[in-house]
A and B are shown apart, each in its own frame.
Chain A
């Protein structure tokens, strides 16, 4: 029952965030600080979510570090999302076998 509430809150908040501005907003944001803040927020969120959690994502810091290194290199080279994600997992898997 608690799980249903969690999921409802999660989905409800996510929908409202998308729906309210998309439906109601008709003019541009003028505050330079707010525009800059909103521009930076996605990158800041993803970075904070990824580091340091990525190093604990495979249950082994060595395999995770190798996977992270591969992801960093490929992401830096503008590889597609799917390639970066799969290569990171493959690198972690192979490292686990080798060790």
Chain B
């Protein structure tokens, strides 16, 4: 077997372990919102993203419009476009268009972070190894969470509702601590979101998140523009 593929699989193990617990939380959330175990698992297998899925099932549960679904996914997952652009600069020549079409499925925050930190040109085999192991953790965790969500005591599943949000905090706080401009954007976005929640509860959650995020990121970009190219990946 291709050694890069095995190396990718090995690098995917820590991601898989992290994904197992977090997607367990997503499975519980999806079932709590009225989705079936099968639907929750299909969503994880086809989307492979935490924040987008958490928002997506809420749009579904609230019987939101398809436009709301398109816009929430577009805004929440927009970061993958930037990651895709960044990663495309580090690919080996063997990464032909068909391979790009397949590997694009697996661009997540964690997979991107691991793949882009390698000191070799990323090959399709390496990406596939990374993606297969990570996605297996994401999908099986969802299946277990969605199924066990009906078996575990309510106190446990209630408490697990916080899993995904805990992970989000773990993603945003370390860079916010290092960079005051990121902290500013985070607090601004949270404040606008709270304002929507209490002042205009009629606005669907999906739109409230989009508007809060776009306003905060735009204000941040105006007040604290990046100084040079290298800063974007810092």
Mark A residues whose CB is within 8 Å of B: 3, 5-7, 9-11, 13-15, 17-23, 25-26, 28-29, 32-54, 57-60, 63-64, 67-68, 71-72, 74-76, 78-90, 92-93, 96-97
* Nearest residue, chain A, Cβ from B211: A48
* Nearest residue, chain B, Cβ from A46: B168
Mask, B206-218, CB within 8 Å of A = 1, is 0011001110111
A33 nearest CB across to chain B (Å):
5
- The residues of B that contact A37 with a CB separation of less than 8 Å are 217-218, 220-221
- Please indicate which of the listed interface residues A37, A54, A86 has the most CB atoms of chain B within 10 Å of its own CB: A37
Known: A10-B52, A40-B220. A84 touches B43 (CB 8 A): no
- The residues of B that contact A25 with a CB separation of less than 8 Å are 84-85, 88
Separation of A10 and B82 alpha carbons in the complex (Å): 19
- The residues of A that contact B225 with a CB separation of less than 8 Å are 32-33, 36
- Interface Cβ pair total, 8 Å cutoff: 296
Whether B186 lies near A6 (C-beta < 8 A) is: no
Known: A22-B85, A22-B103. A49 touches B54 (CB 8 A): yes
Task: List residues 17-39 of chain B with CB under 8 A from any CB of chain A.
Answer: 17-18, 21-22, 25, 35, 39
Number of interface residues of B (CB under 8 A): 98
- The residues of A that contact B59 with a CB separation of less than 8 Å are 6
**What secondary structure prevails in chain A residues at the interface with B?**
helix
Whether B79 lies near A38 (C-beta < 8 A) is: yes
- The residues of A that contact B103 with a CB separation of less than 8 Å are 22
Separation of A54 and B163 alpha carbons in the complex (Å): 9
Separation of A37 and B214 alpha carbons in the complex (Å): 8
Which of A36, A43, A64, A90 lies in contact with B176, CB distance below 8 A?
A: A43
A9 nearest CB across to chain B (Å):
5
* B180 sits at the interface (CB 8 A): no
* Nearest residue, chain B, Cβ from A41: B217
A49 nearest CB across to chain B (Å):
5
- Please indicate which of the listed interface residues B162, B182, B212 has the most CB atoms of chain A within 10 Å of its own CB: B162
- The residues of A that contact B109 with a CB separation of less than 8 Å are 42
Separation of A35 and B85 alpha carbons in the complex (Å): 12
Separation of A81 and B161 alpha carbons in the complex (Å): 15
* Nearest residue, chain B, Cβ from A54: B165
* B144 sits at the interface (CB 8 A): no
Whether B155 lies near A46 (C-beta < 8 A) is: no
Whether B46 lies near A11 (C-beta < 8 A) is: yes
